Structure 1
Amino acid sequence: MSIFIRSGVCLAVMSALSMAAQAAESTDVGAINVQGETLGGGMMVQEESAKARSTITKEAMQKQADMAGNALDRLKYTPGLNVNSNDASGLSGVDYTMRGMNSDQIGLSIDGIPINDSGNYAVYPNLVGDAENIEEVFVTQGSSEADGPHIGSSGGNIGLVTKRPAKDFGGFVKQTLGSNNLSKTFARLETGEYNGFSNWLSYSHTEAKKWRGEGRLYSNKFEMNSLFEAENGNSSNLIMKYNRQENANYNTLSKAQFEQDGRYANDYPATPQYNSRGQLSRYYKLNRNPFENFTLSFTQKLQLQDNLSLTLQPYYYWGNGGSFTGQSASTLGPTSDQAGQYDLSNLTSNTYYRPSWTQTWRPGITTKLKWDINEQHSLDLGYWYERARQLQTQPYVAIKSDGNPADLWGDPNGAGQVKDANGNTVQGRNQYTITPAQKIWLQDSWFVTPDWTLVGGLAWQHVDRRGENKGSLENAPEHRHATYHKFLPNFSASYRLDQQNQVFYNLTRNMRTPQNYVLYNVGDSINTKPELSWNHELGWRFQQDDMLLSATLFYLRYTDRQISTTNPDGDYEMMNVGKVENRGLEVEWSGKLPYNFNYYTSYTYTDSEQKDNVTREDISLPTSGKQLPNSPKNLLNLTLGYDDGRYYSSVSGKYVGAFYGDMTNDEKVGGRTVFDLAAGVYLPVDKKIVKSAALRFGILNLLDKEYLTSARTTVFNADARNGLSAATPYYNVGVERTYSVSLEATF
C-alpha cells in the first residue's frame, strides 16, 4: 500500500471522527490545546516505593525524537539502562543492559503478562505493541515486584501499562514519515462510556527500508481495550494485541570490520552469490524474520468488602515465527544425517533456507488478594501459574529462482519444506518444551507511623523444564526433565524525614531459571544451577513542586551465572561461570527553569566484576576481577527542553562509556556521545471538531556519529591465551542520522 493511499485512509478516518465529535461537543472555537507539563517533559515523576524506580510518562514518549520507536526505545535516557535499537522503525532488534545485566536477565511485562521468551528470555520489539497505546513505562532497576510473573529475572523489571479507554466518543490518528522510506499510519477509535462500558480499537501499519543493506520491514498491528467499571468498585478489563511482521535482518560487524570499512560494511549482499557448484549461497532475501504474535489478558477486580479485594487475571500468549541470520544458506545432501533419523537417499546436495522457527502457546493466571487488616497493616497474598509450551524447529525450505524462500512462513505442512524418502520433514532442530511455573507470595506492609513504612514478604517459586527432543539431523530422540525451586524473601524500609526528603532501603532475592537449552545441550548442561541474586539498594529522594532528585547506591551479588557456549566439538552446552558483583550509583534529576525551560539528567556508574576464573577446554582463563562484557561503567544523559504550551523542543545528549566484547577484557570498544533533537507545535484547533493536534519533528544521531552500540555475540577471549584460540565478538551498529516528522490529531 503506498504512502498516498494510507494517508488518504488516515484523512478519511479523521474526517469521519471529526463529524462525530462535532455533533457531540460544543466548546470554544479557535483555542490552542495546552498540554499539562510535568517535570523534565514527563521524563521523571514523584515516586514513593521503597526501591529504585523510574517512570516514563506518555507526555515524555510523545516528545522524544524517535517518532516511530516502540515503548522500549523510549527508555534510552532512563538511569541504569543502556538501550539500543537496530534502526528507527521500532520493528527491528532492540537490546539493553541494566546495572550490568543483559535484557534476558531482566523481567519484561505488559499489563501483568510476561513478555520475555519462555525458553531463553530474549526480548523482541514486535511483542510490545504500539507505543501510541502505552500510557506509561516503569522500571524497577534492581528487583522484580513480589508478584512479578517472571522465571528469568536475576534482578530488575520493566513494566508497560496500556492506555485506558476514554470516557467520551472520539479517536486519535497519526501519520509519521521519515528517513529510509519510513511510514507509519496509526488510528484509534474510542467508543466512549455507556452504562459503565468503554472501549478503544486501534490499527497501525509500519514499513521502512533498512538503513544499511538491502531489505524492507513491514508490520501490521491490531489492538483493543474494553473496560467495564461498576458502581460497587468491581471492574473488568479485556486487552488484546496482535502483530504480524515481515522483516529483513541486519548483519553484525566485528570491531576490525567496523574500523576498516565503516558502519555500512558486511551487510547481507544485495546481489545473489553462488558457491562452487553454482548454488545460491548468500543473498539478503534469505536473511528474514517473519513473526506473528497475539496476547490476551482479562483482569477482573472484585471489591469483596470495604477492606478486602480480589484480582483475577487469566492471560494467553501465542507466537509463531522465526529468523534466519546465517552467513550462508544451509547445505543438505544424502550424507547430512549425523544421528540416523532420516533416509536422505532421495536428495541431491543443495542449499536451503533454514530458519530457526518457534511456536509458543502460553496460558497463565495471576490471582491476588489484598486485605487492609487495620490502619497499620495491609496484607497481600497471591498465586501465579503458567504452563508455557514451545515447539522449536529448523526446517529446510527450498529457494526459488528469484532468491526468496519457497515458504517464508515455515508452515509445518508447507510444500516448500524438504522431506526424506519416507515423507518425514527434515529438521535441523526439533524440540518441544513444556514449562509449568508457579509462584505463591505473602507480603505485609506495615505503616509504623505516618513517616515509617516497613514491607516484608516471602515468595516461593517452582519451575519445571520438560523437554522432548523429537530427533533431528544431529540428535536422536530423548526426554529430559529438570526442576528448580527457591524461597525468595524481600524486605524494604522507607522513612520520610519531611515533606521533601525520603530515604529507603531495599533487599530482595531473585532467581533466574536456566534457559530451556539445558534440556538439549551436551555435557552437564542439565545440571546447570539457577542464577540467584541478592539485591541491596540504599536511596534518597528529594521532591518539591519544581524539582525532583533521587540517588541510589546499589549492590547486586549473584551466583551461578549461566553462559551458553560451544565445546571443542562445536556442540552447544551451558556453563556455570560463577559469581558476579554489580555495584554502583544511579542519580536522576529533573525540574523546571525560568522562561518555560525544563531539564532532565541521569547518571549511572556500574562496576560489574567477575569474581571467578573460567575454565574453557581445560584451560583456565583470567576472568576474575574483569568487567562483565557489554557493561559500560558510565552512562550520562542530559536533556534541555522548552515548552510554552504552543511550541516545544529539546536537545538530548547521551554518553555511553567504553565496554568489552569478551570475558577476559581483550577487546574494548570506545565510548561515544550521541545527540538527538526533538521539536513540535500544538496546532490551533476548532474544538467543536478537533480536541487537539500537533506537528512533531525529530532527528536521531544529530551529528551523525559512527559507533558500535553493543556486543551481539560475546566470547570468552578475543586474544589467544594459553593455547586457547581467539574468538571474535560481533557487534550491533549505531543507526545513522535519521529524520522523522509526524502529524497527529485527537477528536
Structure 2
Amino acid sequence: MAALAAEESADSVDVGKVKVTGQNLGNGQMVVEEAGKARTTITKEALEKMAPAANAIDKLKYKPGINVSSNDSTGLSGTTFTMRGMQSDQIGVSMDGIPINDSGSYELYPNLMGDPENLGEVFATQGSSEIDAPHIGASGGNIGLVSLPPEKDFGVFAKQTLGSNNLTKSFVRLNTGEYMGLSNYISVSKTNADKWKGKGDLDAEKVELNSLYKFGEGNSLNAIVRYHKQENYNYATASKAQFKADPRYEFADRPTYTTVGGNTNMTASSYAINRNPFENLTTQITGRFQLDDDVTLTVMPYYYWANGGSYSTYGNAASLNRTSTGSNQYNLGNLGTSADYAADGSPTSGLYYRPSWTETWRPGVNTKLTWMINDEHTFDVGYWYERARQRQTQPFISLDAEGKPVDIWGDFHDSNQVRDANGTVVQGRNWFTTTPSQKLFVQDTWYATPDLTITAGLAYDHSERQGEKKVSLATGSTVDRRPGKKNQKYHEFLPSFSAKYQLDDENQVFYNLTRNMRTPPNYVLYNAGSSIELKPELSWNNEVGWRFTTEDMTLGATLFYLTFTDRQVSSYNQAANDYEMLNVGKVINQGVELEWSGLLPYNFNYYASYTYTEAEQQDSILTRNVYLPTEGKQVAAVPKNMFNLSLGYDDGRYYGNIAGRYVGRQYGDMTNDESIPDFVVADLNLGVRLPVQGTALKSAAVRFSVTNLFDKEYLSGVKSVSFNSVRYNGSGSAFAGANSPFYTIGEERVASITLEGSF
C-alpha cells in the first residue's frame, strides 16, 4: 500500500524512489530515501501512533529542519511552521498534487489537509521546490500529503477518540472493494473540542471520496473529492508581558459594558466575536495512460473552492455610523451617528462583527509525459496551468445585546450585512484578484552507471496578478481606495540539477542545486507605496548529503546553503496610514540536518533528528525613515538548534514510545531585540493491538496519547513578527517605533484515548 501511495504521488510531484527494508524504522518516522536531494518521510505507521486528531503538518514536528507551532492538538486551529529557515508561506504544500496554499497570501490552513486517517504518508523536500510542483509561492521547499488508495476488499474502518477538553472525534471509512477494476472508499468524520484556554470550541465535519479505476495495461483513473466545514472560535496570541501575567492569556469571557448618562454601551468585545467559519471543496481526477511500452502520460485536472474568514479583535468591535471616515464611497445617510447609537438604549448599536472574508475559485490542470528513451535516459516534459480567482471582502454584521454576531458567515449576499441607503453592502475592503499561472518544464534523468544517476531540468514559471479594487471604506488611509484595476506579471527560468552516487551497499552521497521562485502575494496590488513594483523572491538551494544504511539502521546527513534575494515582508506605511510590501534584501540560510533511526534488541527502536540553522539577514531595513540594524541578525521565528529524540517499543501487539523535542531560542523581531526562551516538551504514545481471531473484526486497537507530558508552560512559536521591539534613533518624526511581537502559547498537557477497528 505504501508503495502504491508513493506511485500515486509521483503523478504530480517528483518524489524519487522510496526503499523500505523489513520493519519500519523508529516507529515509521524514517524510511530509506533514494532521491538525489534532501527528503524526509513520515509513514502511516508513525501517523497512527501520534496524537490522533493532529493534522499532517503537526505530525512533521519531529523531522529535521521543520519547526511546528500549533494552538492545540485538535488539528483544527492555527498551525505555523518554518522549514530550513523559511516561513510557512514560503513553502509549497500539495495534497495529492493539488496546491493547497492560499492563492493570494500563500498561507496554509489546517482545514485543507483532510483527515490524517486517510493519509498514507507525508514527505518534505526541505530546500527544493519540485520541478513539476504546481506552486508559484515556493521559494524554499515542498511538503506533500499522499492519500491512501482504496482497498481491493470490502471493509469498514471505524475510529472513536475521546480526550481532554471534551475532545471527541468520530471517523468512519467504507471501502467498497474492487469490482471490474473499480475500487472506492468514502469517509466521514466529526470533530469537536473546547478550547484549552478561554471560552469557545472548535467544530468540524469532513467528507472524502476516493475512487480508483484500473484498466488495460498500466492505465488508471483516480478521482478524489474532499469537503470540509468548520465553525471555530479563535485563540488569542500573547505578547511576552501578557504571557508572563497570565500563561493562559485569552480573549475575555464576556463583553465590557459602560453606563454613561443612563445609557449602557459595550466598550470591549469578548471571545464570542473572534470566530473562524470556513468551508472548502477540492476535486481532482488523475489519469495515467500507458501510451506505449516506454511512454506514460499523466493528466490531472482539479478544482478548489474555499469560502470563509476570520475576525480577531482584542478591544472593541468594528464601528460604523453615518459619519464614518470614507463615507464618500457609500451613502451612509440611512445610518445613525455615533451619538445616536450611544443614546438609543441598545448596548451594541453601531458595533459590528467584521470578518476578513475570502472566497476562492481555483481550477487547474497538471500534465506530464514520461518517455523512457532507453536504459540510460528517462525524459519528462510537462505543463501546469491554473486560473485562481479570489474575492476578499470585509462586511459589517450586527451584534446582539450580548455582543455575539447574529450570523458568523460573511457570504457576499448575506441579508445580515449592513447596507447603505442605496442597498449596497458596505465593505471595509473589497478586492477581486485573478491569478493565471503556468509552468512548462523538461527534465532528463541519466543513469550514467549502475551507481550514478544525474538529473537535470529546466522550468519556465509565468504568473500574473490581475487586481480590481471595488467600492470600500477608506478608514483613514491615504491610499486611493476608489475603484480601479492594476496588474503585474512575473516570469522566470528555474533550472535544477542533482547527482546521486551509490558508493557501496551501505553508503550513498548526493548533490542538489535548485532555483526556486515566490511570486509576490496579491496584496501588492492594493497596498501603499511601491508595493506593486516588488520583485519575486528568488532562491538558490545547494545541498550535499550522505546516507548510510544497514539492515537495522539508517543515517542521513545534509549540509545546506540556501541564498534568497528580494525577500518580501509586509510593513506599515505611517505616511499613508496603510500597509505596504517591502523588499528587505538578501538572506543566507546555512546549516546541517541529521536524521538517524534504527532497531534495537528486544523489539525496541529509536529515532533522532538534529538541525542547526543560521538564517542571516544580509541587509539593514529602511522603515519609517530609519535604517534598522538587521544586517547579520537571525531571521525571526527560526531557532538555530533543534533536537528530537524518541525511544519506542513494538512487539507486534503492544507498542509505546516517548518522544522529546528541544527547540532553541526564537527571536520575535527582525532586530533580534526580543526572543522567547528555548524549551523541551515530551509526548507519550501507548497502544495495544487486540486479538481478533474468531470475531468479525479484521483488526482492532486501543491507543493512548499524551502531549506535553510534563505540563510545561511555554511559548511555542512566533505568531506575528515585528520589525523592532525597541525604539531606534530616539523620538520625534524620525524614529522607528517599537512594536511588540506576538506568540503562540504552548498547549497544556492533554490526553486522548482511541478505540478503532476494521470489519
Q: TM-score, normalised by structure 2?
A: 0.92
Report the 3-state secondary structure (helix = DSSP H, G, I; strand = E; otherwise coil) of the residue aligned with 2:631. coil
Letter of the structure 1 residue corresponding to residue 693 of structure 2: D
Equivalent residue, structure 2, for 1:426? 426
Q: CA deviation at 1:278?
A: 3.5
Match of 1:558 among 549, 553, 564: 564
Q: Deviations over 1:475-507 (max 9, x none)?
A: 211211000000000000111000111000000
Instruction: Identify which range, 441-450 or 267-276, moves more after superposition.
Output: 267-276
> How many angstroms does 1:122 deviate by?
0.3
Structure 2's unaligned 5+ residue stretches are: 1-21, 339-349, 475-480, 730-734
State the distance in 2 between where 1:369 and 1:464 align: 26
2:507 — aligned with what? Answer: 501
Distance in 2 (alpha carbons) for counterparts of 1:136 and 1:502: 23
Letter paired with 1:725: G
- Tell me, yes or no, if structure 1 residue 698 matches structure 2 residue 708: no
Give the structure 2 partner of residue 141 of structure 1. Answer: 126
**2:226 is the counterpart of 1:241:** yes
Q: Establish whether residue 601 from structure 1 lines up as the match of residue 588 from structure 2.
A: no
* Count of matched residue positions in the alignment of Structure 1 and Structure 2: 709
Match of 1:391 in 2: 391
Q: What SS is found at the alignment partner of 1:132? A: helix
**Is residue 377–residue 446 contact of structure 1 (8 Å, CA) maintained in 2?**
yes
Identify which of 480, 491, 498 aligns with 2:486. 480
Greater RCO, CA 8 A, separation 6+: 1
**Contact 1:470/1:477, CA 8 A, preserved across alignment:** yes
Q: Does 1:682 align with 2:666?
A: no
Question: Aligned partners of 1:565 and 1:406: how far apart in 2?
Answer: 34
- The amino acid of 1:712's aligned partner reads K
Instruction: Return the alpha-carbon distance in structure 2 between the equivalents of residues 478 and 565 of structure 1.
Output: 23
Match of 2:49 in 1: 63
AA at the equivalent of 1:283: S
In 1, distance between residues paired with 2:548 and 2:156? 38
Whether the aligned pair in 1 keeps the contact of 2:269 and 2:403 (CA below 8 Å) is no
Aligned with 1:192 (options 173, 177, 180): 177
SS, match of residue 334 in structure 2: coil
Pairwise CA distance, 1:231: 3.5
Note if contact 1:511-1:531 (Cα within 8 Å) is conserved in structure 2: yes
Alignment of 1:660-739 (within 5 A): 660-686=667-693, 689-722=696-729, 723-739=735-751
Indicate the SS of the match to 1:706. coil
Question: Does residue 191 of structure 2 align to residue 206 of structure 1?
Answer: yes
Alpha-carbon separation, structure 1, partners of 2:168 and 2:681: 24
User: 1:75 corresponds to which residue?
Assistant: 60
Q: Secondary structure at the match of 1:595?
A: helix
Deviates more, 1:488-497 or 1:322-331: 322-331
1:337, 1:344 within 8 Å by CA — same for their partners in 2? no
> Do structure 1's residue 47 and structure 2's residue 33 form an aligned pair?
yes
CA contact (8 A) 2:304 2:361 kept: yes
3-state SS, counterpart of residue 111 of structure 2: helix
Greater shift in the superposed pair: 346-355 or 557-566: 346-355
Kept after mapping to 2: 8 A contact 1:339/1:472: no
Moved more, 323-332 or 639-648: 323-332
Change (3 A) 1:687 1:93: farther
Deviations 1:510-533 (Å, cap 9, x if unpaired)? 000000000000100000000000
Conserved 8 A contact 1:471-1:478:
no
CA apart distance, 1:451: 0.4
Question: In the alignment, does 2:254 pair up with 1:298?
Answer: no
Bigger drift between 189-198 and 403-412 goes to 403-412
Q: 1:635 aligns with which of 628, 634, 642?
A: 642
Per-residue CA deviation, residues 329-375 of structure 1 (Å, 9 max, x unaligned), is 10111121426210111112311000000000000000100000001
**Counterpart contact for 1:407–1:414, Cα < 8 Å:** no
The letter of the residue matching 1:366 is: N
CA distance in 1, matches of 2:282, 2:443: 29
Q: Which amino acid aligns with 1:702?
A: L
Match of 2:305?
318
Which amino acid in structure 2 is aligned with residue 344 of structure 1?
L
Listed one character per residue, the Cα deviations across residues 293-313 of structure 1 (whole Å, up to 9, x for unaligned) are 000010010000000010000
Is structure 2 residue 216 aligned with structure 1 residue 231?
A: yes
Q: Say which SS state the counterpart of residue 278 (structure 1) adopts.
A: strand
Pairing of 1:649-668 with structure 2 (within 5 A): 649-668=656-675
Distance 2:741 2:640 in 1: 19
**Amino acid in structure 2 at the alignment position of 1:649:** G
Letter in 2 for 1:44: M
What RMSD in Å do the two structures reach over aligned CA positions? 1.0
Residue deviations 1:677-701 (CA, integer Å, cap 9, x gap) = 0000000113651111000001000
For residues 108 and 101 of structure 1, the distance between their equivalents in structure 2, rounded to whole angstroms, comes to 13
Classify 1:518/1:559 alpha carbon distance in 2 versus 1 (closer, same or farther; 3 Å). same
* Secondary structure class of the residue paired with 1:119: coil
Is 1:264 matched up with 2:264?
no
Amino acid at match of 1:588: E
Question: Contact 1:279/1:351 (CA < 8 Å) preserved in 2?
Answer: no
User: Match of 2:168, as an amino acid?
Assistant: S
Identity of aligned residues (%): 58
Is the partner of 2:27 in helix, strand or coil? helix
* 2:73 matched residue in structure 1: 88
Alignment deviations for residues 434-478 of structure 1 (CA, whole Å, 9 cap, x no partner): 000000000000000000111000000000000001020012112
SS class of match (1:71): coil
SS at match of 2:243: helix
| Correspondence 1:516 to 2:516 | no
Structure 1 residue 181 displacement after superposition: 0.2
Whether 1:215 aligns to 2:221 is no
Q: CA deviation at 1:240?
A: 0.5
Counterpart CA distance in 2 for 1:86 and 1:668 is: 19
Preserved contact between residue 489 and residue 508 of structure 1 (Cα < 8 Å): yes
Residue 573 of structure 1 is aligned with which of 574, 580, 587? 580
* Secondary structure of the corresponding residue to residue 555 of structure 1: strand
Which segment is superposed worse, 402-411 or 653-662? 402-411
Q: Secondary structure at the match of 2:328?
A: coil
The structure 1 segments of at least 4 consecutive aligned residues displaced by more than 2 Å after TM superposition are 274-281, 401-404
Shift of 1:67: 1.7
1:38 paired with 2:20, answer no
The one-letter code matched in structure 2 to 1:172 is F
2:255–2:402 CA contact under 8 A, matched in 1? no
Mapped to 1, the partners of 2:584 and 2:400 lie a distance apart of 45
Equivalent AA in structure 1 for residue 652 of structure 2: G
Please say which of residues 46-55 and 679-688 is displaced more in the overlay: 679-688
> Whole-Å Cα distance in 2 between the matches of residues 76 and 713 of structure 1?
20
Query: Which letter does structure 1 place at the counterpart of 2:741?
Result: P
Task: Report SS of the residue matched to 2:33.
Answer: coil
Structure 2 CA distance, aligned partners of 1:322 and 1:401?
Answer: 23
1:742 matched to 2:732: no
More displaced 10-residue stretch of structure 1: 144-153 or 269-278? 269-278
Residue 3 of structure 2 is matched in structure 1 by none
Q: Residue type of the partner of 2:658?
A: V
Deviation at 1:403, TM superposition (A): 2.8
1:200-234 Cα shifts (integer Å, max 9, x gaps): 00000000000011001110000010000113110
Partners of 1:481 and 1:271 lie apart in 2 by 44
Contact 1:582 1:607 in 2 (8 A): yes
Which 10-residue stretch deviates more, 720-729 or 118-127?
720-729
